[in-house]
A and B are shown apart, each in its own frame.
Chain A
């Protein structure tokens, strides 16, 4: 028998697969016109219970079970069907449990196993249906009833969902574990199925349903608030159109000012810069550079024609007066070359009885050496004779200089 069932099941599924196109068309469009299907195919699908005709002369529709299968598989949000019929499920449990007990009592273990498998299927299916219902509800909440357009429709959908949640919760209250435990008696399998398993399922679902209920209420509140805002705006405009000279009362000047209107005016003005703060130097310089760049850009460009005439005339004559101390430094350098030996600057100063202060003389020699062109400088070496400052590191006091040929 089971081989037979297996075969016809496979045949049914193949039938679905072979006619997938018209079935999806019916699913999406709601119905299928007669002329869209060949009469043979149509007859076959109706016979297999995939399509049906709700009333004579009407188009063909998809059977509820096939539609539910597709909705589940495609996770379609339009699925609003929720099976809240706990009472009949419970009655089925009790009946099957009684069958099982009777079969065991009579020692017909094969029949008992079949009944137990059947019961297990029912209990699992019950849990699955519950979880599915919760999932469907969550799906609708998560996209905020996005499948309907207007706010009023959303509010109605929300109310529908809320009534479904209440029905589900009401149904779950019917489950009495005392009665179930009594039915199960001391049969281990039955207890496991009817008490442990069911309890776990129920507590999870009840908990989730209460969260769903909370979210639904919250959403409803939000929808109502949004609708309220629209009406508030329109109402205000309407009111102002009817009474253009309307003035709101002096709500902000009474003794107790509502918190809403208690708003302090801005008091913070931009801070001024402190040019004495050396830490800001880099930023200030950058700003200054910008200022300069702007003024340069602002300067209007002169046209060539506006430029004054360019005339060439003889430059005024001027005389470069040789400085005596410089001449002396030159002479000192010449003497170093002539003698080809190192001469101390101060010795030379004494020897020639130069009139200048020794310190200025030393400065002038250093200046003279540094002032030489690079090519000539290479031929001289200038030694600084002196010592580091006794207190402050990094300072070097020059006592004398010695120039010699490199």
Chain B
């Protein structure tokens, strides 16, 4: 049997994001600086290290990053960056859909539950949401060809679980939890926003005020 340190190292090397929702024990283990250093020195032999994202404390998310970047590593990272940029729009649309369908002010964050059945009822009853879902599910990220809401939604959720944005704690229930990888997504958008000076927040605010007027 693996010790908790072994489990954490294994999950990191599998490319997993360790947050409080997906792996509470591992997350707790890594929040202790001494443990993190041990894992770090182990990963160092593979030219890797523990990287974090998110505000410190409760919302921290751990993943595995390179320690030193050579040409090969740069190529890999560049590809990953292009992948995540392509995934941004479908994921953002999905997040907005879930938020609006549930009539909440806050978008999904780590640990927030999503009830698939409730969501499905709302979407089926609202033509605008149905269209939105159809558009989202036809993105290449999800790759659905189905015309029904039921299969589209199930496929989207299945893909999101595969990609690590959602987890399903009880396989018999249609209740999903958002993971810390979503927080990573927000950080990516924020980074692009800041680096390119897009001032997305201001745009959204102007747009929402325009709607009010």
Contact = CB atoms under 8 A, between A and B. Distances in A.
Interface of A: 149-152, 226-240, 247-253, 257-268
Contact of A238 (B10, B48, B76, B203): B203
A265 B190 contact: no
Contact of B204 (A238, A249, A267): A238
Contacts of A259: 51, 53, 65
B200 interface: yes
Contact of A261 (B80, B109, B186): B80
Interface string B171-213: 0000000000000101111111101101111111101100000
Contacts of B106: 151, 226, 229-230
Interface of B: 10, 13-15, 46, 48, 51, 53, 63-66, 69, 73-74, 76-78, 80-81, 84-85, 88-89, 92-93, 95-96, 99, 105-107, 109, 184, 186-193, 195-196, 198-205, 207-208
Which of A239, A253, A260, A264 has the most B CB atoms < 10 Å from its CB?
A: A264
A248 B77 contact: no
Nearest to B77: A252
B66 A264 contact: yes
A150 B93 contact: no
Given A253-B74, A262-B51, A266-B15, A236 B92 contact: yes
Nearest to B94: A233
Contacts of B96: 233-234, 237
A150 B80 contact: no
Given A233-B95, A260-B187, A150 B85 contact: no
Which of A237, A248, A257 has the most B CB atoms < 10 Å from its CB?
A: A248
Given A235-B200, A252-B74, 14 more contacts: A151-B105, A229-B106, A229-B107, A233-B92, A235-B202, A238-B207, A239-B200, A257-B74, A257-B77, A259-B53, A260-B53, A261-B84, A263-B15, A265-B15
A125 to B, nearest CB: 40
A259 to B, nearest CB: 6
Given A226-B105, A230-B106, A250 B78 contact: yes
A261 to B, nearest CB: 5
A237 B139 CA distance: 14
A261 B192 CA distance: 11
A396 to B, nearest CB: 42
A227 B204 CA distance: 11
A266 B80 contact: no
B186 to A, nearest CB: 5
A234 B105 contact: no
Nearest to A249: B196
Contact of A230 (B15, B81, B107, B207): B107
B89 A237 contact: yes
Given A229-B109, A268-B10, A234 B51 contact: no
B188 A260 contact: yes
Contact of B198 (A234, A239, A257): A239
Given A234-B96, A262-B69, A240 B74 contact: no
A87 B105 CA distance: 41
A302 B104 CA distance: 60
A232 B193 contact: yes
B91 to A, nearest CB: 9
Contacts of A152: 105
Contacts of B202: 235
A233 B51 CA distance: 24
B189 A236 contact: yes
A263 B51 contact: yes
Contacts of A266: 13-15
Nearest to B57: A218
Contacts of B46: 267
A248 B80 contact: no
**Which 7 pairs from chain A and chain B are nearest by CB?**
A235-B200, A266-B15, A252-B81, A151-B105, A235-B204, A231-B204, A262-B65
A237 B92 contact: yes
B126 to A, nearest CB: 18
Contact of A150 (B105, B107, B198, B200): B105
Contacts of A258: 191
Contacts of A267: 13, 46
Contact of A252 (B14, B80, B89, B204): B80
Contacts of B64: 263-264
B59 to A, nearest CB: 9
A264 B65 contact: yes
Contacts of A260: 53, 184, 187-188, 191
A393 B73 CA distance: 63
A247 B201 contact: no
Contacts of A150: 105
A144 to B, nearest CB: 11
A232 B190 contact: yes
A232 B202 CA distance: 9
Nearest to A247: B85
Contacts of B187: 260
